[in-house]
A and B are shown apart, each in its own frame.
Chain A
């Protein structure tokens, strides 16, 4: 449980950080990093552990952002119930998309392209269904979720500090869920499938079922991240579902590392903070961003975590 102990220390350090760091700017970047970190960690469950390069992750994230809002408006429910409705919708979509891809044993490039096609269908629907989604303009979210605080009762979730703790809690929960999964018998099945489908078959593993399970769990976490992210940002726009967003998630995982549950968070932190730390024009920023990604793949194929762990002489923990 050494890795577990390190994670607890990291979580406590982040929990205490606002005592030392009062900068609203820094905390805001951390909130975004935590929410995008949920996306990266859940994506890694599908990509790093089960070996499926899904391009549906941004779609799950974006669809849920819209669906949470629409459920609140049309079903007159609270943010949290709306988010559950959105997560349920994403679960249904994941099962449909996953069942089609995995039944036909689409792998690697083909799986990526087909999930991208589903993703684009969702984005174009959002973009063109003006009466519901307000098209390219997106939606401004006025409501704030409420949370129950001991001793105070229901309060509006506003201000950077409250969001900091809510997003940190959501990220910690994400890590715990993914950690438990990959260290269970189910995670061992994911590993077998990652090596190849035929190995899974010969070991009596229902490859279809466990690919679908990883895909669905990953997407549901992405859906929850989408609900939180949009309400923190205060707006939703079709770019949430774009291929850029999908690639940003892939970049976070490659940069952070695939070999450990929490490693992609490092990538989310770096790639979220970097644009704010390097004061460059938008064009130069993309070039720097791209260069970092290329150098990572060439020089640190195991990502930051994998490289540091290798330097520290620690074996990659995969099962």
Chain B
């Protein structure tokens, strides 16, 4: 198994935001995690990405336990998270954003030799590779046309796609997407779906959280539903959507 979460729990004082959650993700899968607002989805993602330390439980990535590791080390290991609201520089272009996000790629390529490039601006092949990779990511994310535009000039959908593109520059093997479809129009959601399917076909494993069931239902191979921090259902999206517990969580008990 590529990635496995076991008995993961996070308490904030008296509140248990994530309660004894266990699941696994295989290479190449698209796993959807959904649940109503406040069900612990974002906390779960923050725990996996190392922004928060779990109260108990383990997170295993390629056979090694990573719970409690530093977030930049987790990103360097190939587990990369996007933001629900993309973090962008209004005055920088799309391409410049990708150069900022190229940190890990340059680090993997050059290691400590990067220090030498502080004195000699020529990063040689590594710099050229970085720019080539940025071009690939722009094509993959359908952002070619916006390459030279500043973030201030982008639509919200493009902003969110740039957030995904920046994460892709880190070379993720497991990409964690935090509500990538929230705030998008129907056309933008279809575009996002196409991009995410392309990503999977390029070998990236995806874990997507969203409260929109429809979007995840079409895309995910497997779905997990959270409610009050606990996993209440797991299976194919159809199975999970028919689950009485899930229906009750979303619509109230009288509908179950």
Chain A residues close to B by CB (< 8 Å): 180-181, 183-186, 188-189, 191-192, 195-196, 198-207, 315-316, 318-319
Contacts A183-B121, A184-B121 given; does A201 touch B75 at CB 8 Å: yes
A316 to B72, CA, bound (A): 29
Contact present for B49 and A202 (CB under 8 Å):
yes
Contacts A180-B118, A184-B121 given; does A319 touch B96 at CB 8 Å: yes
A188 to B114, CA, bound (A): 13
A198 to B92, CA, bound (A): 19
Contact present for B71 and A202 (CB under 8 Å):
yes
- Does B139 lie at the interface of the complex (its beta carbon under 8 Å from any beta carbon of A)? no
- Does B11 lie at the interface of the complex (its beta carbon under 8 Å from any beta carbon of A)? no
Q: Which residues of A contact B169 (CB under 8 A)?
A: 203
Contacts A202-B75, A202-B83 given; does A189 touch B99 at CB 8 Å: no
CB distance from B110 to the nearest CB of A (A): 9
- Does B246 lie at the interface of the complex (its beta carbon under 8 Å from any beta carbon of A)? no
Per-residue CB contact flags for chain B residues 147-175 toward chain A (1 = under 8 Å, else 0) read: 00010000000000000001101100000
Contact present for B117 and A184 (CB under 8 Å):
yes
| 20 A–B contacts from the bound complex (CB under 8 Å) | A180-B121, A185-B103, A185-B117, A186-B114, A188-B102, A191-B100, A192-B101, A192-B103, A195-B87, A198-B71, A200-B72, A202-B71, A202-B81, A202-B82, A202-B83, A202-B167, A203-B72, A203-B104, A204-B72, A204-B107
Q: Which residues 102-142 in B have Cβ within 8 Å of A in the complex?
A: 102-104, 106-107, 114, 117-119, 121, 123
- Does B50 lie at the interface of the complex (its beta carbon under 8 Å from any beta carbon of A)? yes
Contact present for A185 and B83 (CB under 8 Å):
no
Contact present for B81 and A195 (CB under 8 Å):
no
A118 to B158, CA, bound (A): 45
Q: Which residues of A contact B70 (CB under 8 A)?
A: 201, 206
Contact present for A203 and B103 (CB under 8 Å):
yes
Contact present for A201 and B71 (CB under 8 Å):
yes
Chain B CB count within 10 A is highest, among A181, A191, A200, A203, for: A203
- Does B80 lie at the interface of the complex (its beta carbon under 8 Å from any beta carbon of A)? yes
Q: Which residues 49-83 in B have Cβ within 8 Å of A in the complex?
A: 49-51, 70-72, 75-76, 80-83
A180 to B119, CA, bound (A): 7
The one of A189, A204, A318 in contact with B91, judged by C-beta atoms closer than 8 angstroms, is A318
- Does B89 lie at the interface of the complex (its beta carbon under 8 Å from any beta carbon of A)? yes
- Closest-by-CB residue of B relative to A210 is B103
Contacts A184-B117, A191-B100, A192-B103 given; does A201 touch B50 at CB 8 Å: yes
A207 to B179, CA, bound (A): 25
Report, as a range, how many residues of chain B touch the other chain: 35 or more
CB distance from B125 to the nearest CB of A (A): 14
- Closest-by-CB residue of A relative to B96 is A319
Q: Which residues of A contact B76 (CB under 8 A)?
A: 204
Q: Which residues of A contact B150 (CB under 8 A)?
A: 315
Contact present for A206 and B87 (CB under 8 Å):
no
- Closest-by-CB residue of B relative to A197 is B71
Contact present for B75 and A319 (CB under 8 Å):
no
A-B contacts besides A191-B92, A315-B91, 13 pairs, CB < 8 Å: A180-B121, A184-B121, A191-B89, A195-B88, A198-B51, A198-B71, A198-B83, A199-B87, A201-B71, A204-B75, A316-B91, A318-B89, A319-B92
Chain A CB count within 10 A is highest, among B50, B72, B114, B119, for: B72
- Closest-by-CB residue of A relative to B169 is A203
CB distance from A151 to the nearest CB of B (A): 30
A253 to B76, CA, bound (A): 35
Chain B CB count within 10 A is highest, among A183, A189, A204, A315, for: A204
Q: Which residues of A contact B121 (CB under 8 A)?
A: 180, 183-184
Contact present for A203 and B166 (CB under 8 Å):
yes
A234 to B99, CA, bound (A): 47
A200 to B50, CA, bound (A): 13
- Closest-by-CB residue of A relative to B127 is A185
CB distance from B254 to the nearest CB of A (A): 40
User: Which 4 residue pairs are nearest across A and B when measured between Cβ atoms?
Assistant: A204-B75, A201-B71, A204-B104, A199-B87
Q: Which residues of B contact A203 (CB under 8 A)?
A: 72, 75, 100-101, 103-104, 166, 169-170
CB distance from A35 to the nearest CB of B (A): 25
Q: Which residues of A contact B100 (CB under 8 A)?
A: 188-189, 191-192, 203, 319
Q: Which residues of A contact B118 (CB under 8 A)?
A: 180-181, 184, 186
A184 to B123, CA, bound (A): 9
Q: Which residues of A contact B91 (CB under 8 A)?
A: 315-316, 318
A205 to B121, CA, bound (A): 20
A205 to B114, CA, bound (A): 14
A191 to B92, CA, bound (A): 11
Contact present for B89 and A195 (CB under 8 Å):
yes
